[in-house]
Structure 1
Amino acid sequence: MTSRTPRKSRSTSGIAASANGPSASSISAVAALAGVSTATVSRVLNRSKPVNAETQQRVEAAVSQLGYRANPFARSLTSGESRLILVLTPDFLNPFFAEIVQGIESVTRRSGYSILLSQASDTAPLDTVYERLVDGVISLAHLRDPKALSGTDRKHNLPWVACSEFRPDDDIPYVSIDHRQGAIDAVQYLLNRGHRRIALLTAAEDYTWARQRRIGYEETLRRAGLTVDPALIRVARGTEYADGIEAVGGLLSLQDLPTAIFAVADTLAIGAIKALRRAGRRVPEDVAVVGFDNLHLAQVFEPSLTTIAQPMRELGQAAVELLLGQLAGEKPVSRMLPHTLVVRESG
């Protein structure tokens, strides 16, 4: 991906009017009260060029006295940057994505940026207002074709970073973990505990992470000399708790039940435990369960969940750092962050 040059020319339809409204007249009032030019006020507010301390104090006093607030949209039209980052997420309510967004926000706040959150899918075009206003995009969503969001090759218009979910064959830089190795660690742990009939509770495999975790599951079983039994692999409708409950129903109908379940998400694992309990099965005595993510709920749920911990906040933080590097003209380099196996009561 090439670094982006500042977009000095933005479309002004529907936005430029704000530059001539109250905010624009207010900056003139600030300049008159401080006894300086509007350009000097702008330099003080945007910290674009140094001014002497006495002038800065006069401008800041005038700003305070008049209650002036800069219009970020008008500023973006003239400066070519908005200091806004668009964050695309597939699900506002999913606690996994919420943790990543908190990590993103912790860095943007320190760096003088703000974020816009938008729920994204392949079928929903990106609001063109976002395209005009934001300086870059962090995508947590599964997007088969990011360019299709607006019908243009956005990768050459805006810096993009994929976070957690990424496409290995694409040129969009990403921050993620080694999902395959995480699954290997989870299944090997169950093998070390003596389990040989291990079920997989997975999600739709158009997701990179789900596909890689299934690869890790199957690879580990074969390495142990075990046959991969298709009857023990259940694909959930989604990744909600209820999807885990539903998917485990198929496993409970088997004559030869598994002694352990590896779920590719904590939400599915917790749903699986609820389904097992309803069927009179004890966890982990009858069936051990291992999840993936290490959500906060994994610690307080009973039994507490053995899981692969993703550094969720660190993923968000690293994604922002990668994006800000691109905005500064640096060549982006994708990163893999470490995961850990957290052993608790369920497995």
Structure 2
Amino acid sequence: MTTLLDVAKKANVSKMTVSRVINHPDKVTDELKKLVYEAMRELDYHPNVIAKALANRTTRIIKLCILEDIDTTEPYYMNLMIGIAKTLDLHQYSLQLVTRRNFDIGNCDGYIITGMRESDVSWIKDLKKPVVLFGENRYGLDYVDTNNKAATYLMSQLALEKGYDKLIYIGIDSKESFEYSREAGYLQQVQEKRMIPELHRFGNHSHMAEDFIDDNWDKIEKNTAFVCASDRLAMGIERGILRRGGKIPEDFGVTGFDGVFLNQVASPKITTIKQSIIEMGSACGENLLDKIQNGTSQGSLVFEPNVSLGGTLRN
């Protein structure tokens, strides 16, 4: 049977280095990892992760719990899971997707939770295992997210720089931190320009935004830009304007938020805030594993927004 020592000899490194590559790959150079992994493959060596987990009373399982309707967020969460899974795989952890209903079935070493609402705060705070949230919160829980306020401030500023006279905010009807922050960015920009704010909130469904345009078309002035809280809402605004014969971007501007997929399939493509979802998923995994290992709070990790230009704002 191939041993750790055999791998060390084959790779011409110490036994301790092999152990570090297996258990803490983030603390080893890429060159050393390549040597050890090649030796492991040649010798067909597989670390006994299960035995180690049993000895340490761990499971090597991380649960990802999505608490919102995934039908209105795909393919957003697919990218998030890819990012989390890649990081966990490097550390020999498995990712298990759970819902609120089956949350307590089976053991795990920690949780990554997204889609949290105010009603979820108490039971999440009572969890005995380490937790990292994906999504901004104001309840003192560790989280990873985009700088939501800076993003809509930046997008509102861009729309004004393109020459639009009025900004209308189309938000998600949710009493959660991320939405408040997105609204705050828009409001700060229009207040700085001494403009009158106009906000409307809907469920995150494109048909609701499209219906809004249809119902209010006679009241909407030309040279207006719509700052939307999601690409899904932006698609609805875009469809509504085009169906009514409006010209985008000549007479109306539209911006979105997410930049995962929907902005690319819209016609014209939507100018949007592109979130680094895979990278943020990876950060969730890293922060949770650090929390499991060190037992300390990781605080908040905020990614700065990037604008992805499409065809829904003037050049």
- State if a TM-score over 0.5 links the two structures: yes
Task: For structure 1, list consecutive stretches of 5 or more residues without a partner in the other structure.
Answer: 1-29, 31-43, 49-56, 65-69
Structure 1 residue 173 corresponds to structure 2 residue 151:
no
Taking a change above 3 Å as real, the CA distance of residues 92 and 76 of structure 1, as seen in their structure-2 partners, is farther
Q: Match for residue 110 of structure 2?
A: 136
Q: Match for residue 92 of structure 1?
A: 70
Structure 1 position 96, deviation (Å)? 1.6
SS at match of 1:218: helix
Partner Cα separation in structure 1 for residue 219 and residue 197 of structure 2: 16
Q: Match for residue 195 of structure 1?
A: 164
* Superposition pairs of residues 68-217 of structure 1, within 5 angstroms: 79-89=56-66, 90-93=68-71, 94-120=74-100, 127-130=103-106, 133-146=107-120, 148-149=122-123, 153-154=126-127, 157-163=128-134, 165-168=135-138, 170-217=139-186
Asked if structure 2 preserves the Cα contact closer than 8 Å seen for 1:92 and 1:98, the reply is no
Q: Match for residue 265 of structure 1?
A: 230
Moved more, 189-198 or 324-333: 324-333
SS at match of 1:128: coil
Letter of the 2:247 counterpart: R
Taking a change above 3 Å as real, the CA distance of residues 247 and 111 of structure 1, as seen in their structure-2 partners, is farther
Aligned counterpart in structure 2 of residue 333 of structure 1, from 280, 290, 299: 299
Taking a change above 3 Å as real, the CA distance of residues 147 and 189 of structure 1, as seen in their structure-2 partners, is closer
Taking a change above 3 Å as real, the CA distance of residues 285 and 258 of structure 1, as seen in their structure-2 partners, is closer
Partner Cα separation in structure 2 for residue 303 and residue 263 of structure 1: 15
Partner Cα separation in structure 1 for residue 310 and residue 121 of structure 2: 43
Structure 1 position 76, deviation (Å)? 6.2
Partner Cα separation in structure 2 for residue 80 and residue 250 of structure 1: 60
Structure 1 position 147, deviation (Å)? 5.4
Larger radius of gyration: 1
Aligned counterpart in structure 2 of residue 298 of structure 1, from 250, 263, 274: 263
Q: Match for residue 188 of structure 2?
A: 219
Normalised by the size of structure 1, how large is the TM-score?
Answer: 0.70
Partner Cα separation in structure 2 for residue 80 and residue 143 of structure 1: 32
Percent identity between matched residues is: 21
Letter of the 1:166 counterpart: E
Letter of the 1:153 counterpart: D
Normalised by the size of structure 2, how large is the TM-score?
Answer: 0.77
Structure 1 position 204, deviation (Å)? 1.6
Asked if structure 2 preserves the Cα contact closer than 8 Å seen for 1:75 and 1:82, the reply is no
Moved more, 278-287 or 90-99: 90-99
Taking a change above 3 Å as real, the CA distance of residues 160 and 248 of structure 1, as seen in their structure-2 partners, is farther
Please report the RMSD computed on the Cα atoms of aligned residues, expressed in angstroms. Answer: 2.9
Structure 1 position 297, deviation (Å)? 3.0
